[in-house]
Copies of this chain bind each other. A is one copy, B any other.
């Protein structure tokens, strides 16, 4: 990716030479209206003695190619023309107009009589060497959120060295056996007798062992947290931001190892692991900014002279954070970082399937400078540790991500308390639809559907479950989806070539198989892949169902349900989905704005994605969270995220009692 036109032009020539040099294995074809480029590739081909082909858009560049044909004693030229309706061609034409209209465009310079020929035919290397820097107004990816929030660093899996580094990290991890258990006051203590943690991609691989927290450890964690919290709260948002940024940096410094653990313990592909670590880092840095902005000196409110009125936010006390196995680092960290940012202490219960990555993270946080009493880890099952935590009188709030039924249970436990009514921030399931109309671009739909439905083996709450295709183009899109599914690689998630890893455990696979049986009986399976023999794999399935109400609840895995609809029935078809009362994510593919607006009106959703994939919300960019059965809000990674973790305090001071209002003297 280049940020300046000269660098892009030079890159084109460098790549053109590589293509020409690859003959006879490649037969290179070049489509350009730039005379300099045309001359350059002809010269390169002649020098190399290689035959190439030229292409031009029908109706454009005729004079140029006529001149080239004369000058070079004949060239091989193909004229092409895009064919299609107005909706298909408009975006293409707009893009061409934008390109050719740019000030830096060759066409622009060529047609400008004031530009001397010497400038048009200048050596592209000279231009780049004269201005080697990136475009001054385009930030680097790391700076894209401005100076206060450094973007999380990525890993480019197309770079061999980076893949090798990750492979080394996996190998190193495989030589170890990890331990998880109650981490209270910064010390790993013994709970229940340890149980093995096995890899979902291969049940014979023992990744580590976990010991569940016991009641006295829970009591102790509450006591330490309660004692440490007031000082942390009083330290203020700026100081907490400093610590949160240190936590983010600690994660980033350990990216490779964390990805390896995610792959082994949670069955995450490397690409998913990279995204997950980045999201965890983003949460730390984004909430650091909110802590600074919202937990400082407070907001001075308008009022009468003679008194000052200030509104401040403060932490609530001790938060219990209960996180899921599908984002065992990112959601785990997001909940904790939010609660900490707002001035709370945290008791964290990781999902029972993923205690190892949680232990690793908490140790990193403590090592990075967080007072260990402010963050205890209490691994265990929901029925034991989760129940004890949420029923504890020392609790001031719960953040939970998981199933709707579990959320109901926790909510009832909290409501049964004869004490303060505490916040319950729940992020639960979804029954997410994507609506495609006939103006949608087929290739883009297919790409985005495959990623949204089968990425992460469908184990995202945001994942696409119901694809609504218009009758007229449904078959054509389904054909493309089948082909794209066939290209998916299932296998060891730690391998860089794997697209789809296992589902989390045998119970999850069993539920999916039961659902597949129902689809075979009551609906129509359009396409299904084959799962590897070892591990708890469930291979992607494409099935057609009659309507949205075929599904009563979330199907958590790589099963995509297609519903065909007639455009005139949109209201009713979409209404059937909305009637399920979930409201998490919504996808729309269309070139028509009124279609997108209609779908949004008909299907309320926390996160809507238009003409793109519908998973992978980025912290601060797509604040994430649903409504209805999908969650309570506020959105994670959004500007209001911290408010439910905090109390508001208003202080009114009569300053005339101190001798008058000095503000009056400045009028």
Point out residues on A near B: beta carbons under 8 Å: 90-95, 98-99, 101-102, 135, 137-138, 144-146, 230, 234, 299, 301-305, 307, 309, 311, 314, 316, 407-408, 411-412, 414-416, 418-421, 423-424, 426, 441, 444, 581, 583, 591, 600-601, 604-612, 617-618, 620-625, 627-629, 631-635, 638-640, 643, 647-654, 657-660, 662, 665, 667
Contacts and interface: CB of A to CB of B under 8 A. Distances in A.
A420 B604 CA distance: 13
Nearest to A90: B659
A487 B234 CA distance: 43
Nearest to A137: B667
Contacts of A98: 659-660, 662, 665
B623 A94 contact: no
B610 A441 contact: no
B667 A650 contact: no
A420 B628 contact: yes
A568 to B, nearest CB: 21
A391 to B, nearest CB: 13
Given A98-B665, A665-B98, A416 B424 contact: no
Contacts of A653: 609-612
A608 B652 contact: yes
Contact of A657 (B138, B444, B649, B651): B444
A144 B657 CA distance: 21
A301 B606 CA distance: 15
User: Which of A299, A412, A631 has its CB near the most chain B CB atoms (within 10 A)?
Assistant: A412
Given A302-B621, A419-B581, A591-B658, 20 more contacts: A94-B659, A95-B659, A98-B660, A101-B665, A102-B665, A135-B667, A299-B639, A301-B620, A309-B621, A314-B604, A316-B627, A407-B421, A408-B418, A412-B415, A412-B416, A421-B424, A609-B654, A612-B652, A612-B657, A635-B648
A660 B612 contact: no
B91 A658 contact: yes
Nearest to A309: B621
A654 B587 CA distance: 11
10 contacts: A302-B621, A419-B581, A421-B426, A444-B657, A591-B657, A600-B651, A606-B647, A608-B652, A622-B652, A638-B650
Contacts of A301: 620-623
Contacts of A304: 144, 621
A472 B181 CA distance: 56
Contacts of A311: 623, 635, 638-639
Contacts of A416: 412
Contacts of A601: 230, 234
A571 to B, nearest CB: 13
Nearest to A581: B420
Contact of A647 (B620, B627, B667): B627
A458 to B, nearest CB: 20
Contacts of A414: 415
A650 B607 contact: yes
A426 B607 CA distance: 28
A428 to B, nearest CB: 8
Contact of A632 (B90, B423, B607): B423
A55 to B, nearest CB: 21
B652 A623 contact: no
Nearest to A93: B659
Contact of A652 (B302, B607, B639): B607
Nearest to A664: B138
Contacts of A138: 305, 667
Given A416-B412, A612-B652, A303 B421 contact: no
A426 B423 CA distance: 11
A82 B622 CA distance: 65
Nearest to A629: B420
Given A415-B411, A654-B610, A621 B303 contact: yes
A115 to B, nearest CB: 20
A416 B408 CA distance: 8
A632 B299 CA distance: 20
A453 B653 CA distance: 19
Nearest to A651: B608
Given A98-B659, A144-B304, A419 B610 contact: no
A441 B512 CA distance: 73
Contacts of A230: 601
Contacts of A583: 647
A665 B423 CA distance: 46
Nearest to A421: B632
Contact of A91 (B102, B408, B609, B659): B659
A98 B102 CA distance: 64
Contacts of A93: 659
A617 B650 CA distance: 10
Nearest to A91: B659
A654 B612 contact: yes
A379 B317 CA distance: 38
A627 B603 CA distance: 36
A359 to B, nearest CB: 30
Nearest to A230: B601
A657 B441 CA distance: 9
B648 A640 contact: yes
A605 B408 contact: no
A314 B632 CA distance: 14
Contact of A634 (B444, B648, B662): B648
